[in-house]
Structure formats: C-alpha cells, structure tokens
Amino acid sequence: MAGMRYEALSLSVPYGKLNALKEQLGLTGDALAVLAPYRKAFIENSVAFAGYFYKIFMGISDTRKIIEGLENPQSLKDAWANWFRTVFMLELDENFLAYLWRIGIRHVEVNLDQRYTNLGFSVVRQFCRDVIRKEVAPADAAQAAFVIDNILDLCLLTETSAFIEASSRCDIEIIKGIADRIRNPITVIGGNLKRIQKLLDIKDPSYCVVEDIIAQSSKCESMVADIKTYIDMFQKESYPVKISLPDLVRLVLEDIQAKPEAQRVSMETVLDPMTNSIEADPPDIKAALYQVLENALEAAATAPDPRIRISSGPYRAPFKAVKISIFNTGVPPRAEDMERLFSLFYSTKPGGSGFGLPIARLAVRKNLGRITVEALPGEGTRVTIVLPKS
C-alpha cells in the first residue's frame, strides 16, 4: 500500500468517539494529576526508551530485516523517542488524539503488520514499569502504573482504530473501483447481445447460446449493483430517527408490488398498534426490508399457496424493542444452507448475487438490531428483524 493514495487515508479524526473512550478509561484531570511530579523523569528517558525499543526489535528476525533495510535507522529511533516524549509531554487533548490517529493512518500507508504494534505497546509497558521503579515514589507507584496503563490503552486503541478503519476502507475503495470499472462494459455487452439475439431465428442453435450469455451478463450486472449497494451502506453513517413502521412497510411494499412475481403472491400485513414506531436510519431499514421481502417474494412465487405475511409485535419484556416478522410459504432453506445464508456471494437461487441477506444484516446491525432466519418445515420460512423501539 506504500506509494498509493486512497481517500480512506484522509479520514477525519472521530474526536467524539475518542473523547468518549478517554472518559471510559477514567483519564480525567484528577487521575492524571498523579503523574505531574514525574512527567519530567519520563520525558528525560525518551532516548533511553528508543534504544530499548530498538534493541528489542533488532532481536526479532523479521523486524530486524525491516530496520536494516532503512536508509537511516537513526530516524526510526528519533521517531520512537519523539513518540515517548509526546505521550508524557502533552495533555490528552484533541491535538494528542489527532497525533495518535495520524500514527494509525501512517501504519496503513507503510503496510505495517498490526501485530508489531501490539507487541510494541507491551514493550512500552515494560519500559514504563522500570521507570516507575526508579523514579516514582513508592506511595504513588501503584496509581502511576494504573494511569500509565490507561494512557497506553488509549494510545493503542486509537492507533488500532485508525488502522482498522483506514485499511478496511482502502480495501472497500479497491472493490468499489473494480465494480465501477466493470459495470459499464457488462451493460454494453448485455445490450449488444440482445441486439444480436433479435437478429437470430429462435430455431437457430445460436439463439439459446446467446440467451444463456445474456442471462449470465444480467447476473453480473445485478451482482455489481448489489456490491455497490453493500459498499455504500458500509461507508454511510447511520442517523437513527423515529420511523413510522406502517408507513415504512407501505413504502417498501409499493416497490415490491411493482415486480412481476407480486401478481401471483398474496400479501398480508398485520402490525401491532403497540409497535407503530421504531428508531433507526430510514434508508438503512428500508433497504433491509426490501431485500428480505424481495427474497420472500421470489420464494413464495413458486409455492402452491403463494403467500407473504408481514407482522410486528413487542420483543420481550420490558418492551424496549420491536420484532418485525416476514413469513413466506416458499420452500424453506435446507439445514446445510442455514449457516451460510448471510455469507457474501452465497445464494440458493440460480440467478442470485448472494448479497440480499448480507445487505439486510449490515443495515440492521448498523442500527443496533439483529436479524434471524427460521426454516419452518412444511410451512415456509420466517425472517425476524429486531430493532429498538422509538
């Protein structure tokens, strides 16, 4: 990844989340006060720390090769010494959090193995304990060690969070780029094949061949569209608001009933008045319900008694969540398929892209809910979505 630039490497610092983490770790002004008399001692040990760190990692064959391959290994020592000084010199303010976040992003840029970061923090803790034994008054030692451990936890969690978010978004940028690049050629190929097919006699052996290629091209188009939907949902922030469940179901059903299969399927809606509202991001949950209902429609359309039933009700006591159930009379999934239904690219339908249920699960999870599939032998399939009530 070194030498390449990604939008993900320009991620803004999530100060709100990081400040909340700092509070959870108890890093208040009062807690940090115990370090005030000893900050200078730690700062003066920054060069010694860099030497200690260097010695540890030169003793590991893989990291030794990396260090020996640098043009100026001393610059690495200087960077480590500066990091150690900064930890004990700055207040744990937004400037410090931004500094840590940039380090995590930098680790993505240089393609650093995150395991070495975790090992590095273990080394830092060992060194700090040695300084505490030498420099900190015995009466303050335990509290100082506790506070320093929490500061290092904040450093590790912030850098790791930046690393994970940036690296995952870089991977998504690559996948999205591939999808965007192949979408237009596939559309052009499909369109031209349809023109060619119109010129062929239906009895011509080539007609069926072209028809099969068109079907596969359409499947690819659908898969590319679903990949883009999944990626866009993954990247988009969710903003939960109060949603009218009856209105949401009505909007989704309007889209579903426009599909040809809907003419053959009876649809029933039974919503409990106690569950008229949920708290979720409207586009997320609309997409989730659409994907589940589309699957239900395709399954029910082939059943002798093609029916779909959408119902809702309180989820357990105390009543803090809403349960939405979508039942269809289609053939239920086989036992061996159940565990893979939410896996990307896995589909039990010949033309399926394998993104329907994964998109639904991603949307539901982003909104602090959960989704399950239940096979009902001899009856059909029930999908249940649980979401916070408004």
Q: What pLDDT does residue 285 have?
A: 92
Asked if residue 284 is part of any domain, the answer here is yes
pLDDT at 177 over 90: no
pLDDT, mean of residues 331-345: 77
Domain count, the chain: 2
d(Cα 308, Cα 330) in Å, to the nearest integer?
A: 9
Q: What pLDDT does residue 206 have?
A: 87
Residue 380 CB neighbours (<10 A):
22
pLDDT at 6 over 60: no
pLDDT at 347 over 70: no
**Three-class SS of 250-311:** HHHHHHHCCCHHHHHCEEEEECCHHHCEEEECHHHHHHHHHHHHHHHHHHHCCCCCCEEEEE
Q: What pLDDT does residue 145 have?
A: 94
d(Cα 232, Cα 236) in Å, to the nearest integer?
A: 6
CATH number of residue 245's parent domain: 3.30.565.10
Instruction: Give the domain extent around 148.
Output: 7-171
For 181-191, how does the pLDDT look when each residue is reduced to its tens digit (9 = 90+)?
A: 777 787 888 88
Distances (CA, A) of 362 to 135, 324, 367: 51, 16, 9
Asked if residue 1 is part of any domain, the answer here is no
pLDDT, mean of residues 75-103: 88
Categorize the per-residue pLDDT at 211 as very low, low, confident or very high, splitting at 50, 70 and 90: confident
Structure token digits, residue 92: 């744990």
Last residue of a domain, one of 119, 140, 171: 171
In the three-class reduction of DSSP (H, G, I as helix; E, B as strand; rest coil), residue 155 is classed as: helix
Q: What pLDDT does residue 193 have?
A: 85
Q: What pLDDT does residue 192 have?
A: 85
Asked if residue 197 is part of any domain, the answer here is no
**Angle between helix 205-235 and helix 138-198 axes, rounded to 10 deg:** 150
Say yes or no: 374 and 248 in one domain. yes
Last residue of a domain, one of 133, 156, 171: 171
The whole model's pTM is what?
0.56
d(Cα 102, Cα 335) in Å, to the nearest integer?
A: 47
Asked if residue 261 is part of any domain, the answer here is yes
pLDDT at 5 over 70: no
Asked if residue 253 is part of any domain, the answer here is yes
Say yes or no: 157 and 292 in one domain. no
d(Cα 298, Cα 291) in Å, to the nearest integer?
A: 11
Say yes or no: 34 and 157 in one domain. yes
Say yes or no: 15 and 139 in one domain. yes
For 34-66, how does the pLDDT look when each residue is reduced to its tens digit (9 = 90+)?
A: 999 999 999 999 999 999 999 998 998 888 887
Asked if residue 186 is part of any domain, the answer here is no
Last residue of a domain, one of 140, 171, 202: 171
Say yes or no: 161 and 20 in one domain. yes
Instruction: Please answer whether residues 372 and 384 qualify as being in contact, where contact means their C-beta atoms are separated by less than 8 angstroms.
Output: yes
Q: What pLDDT does residue 352 have?
A: 59
Of 178-182, 201-205, 221-225, 283-287, the range with the highest mean pLDDT is: 283-287
pLDDT, mean of residues 131-140: 94
Asked if residue 370 is part of any domain, the answer here is yes
Say yes or no: 157 and 249 in one domain. no
Say yes or no: 124 and 39 in one domain. yes
Asked if residue 2 is part of any domain, the answer here is no
214-223 burial string, b = 16+ CB within 10 Å, else e? beebbbbbeb
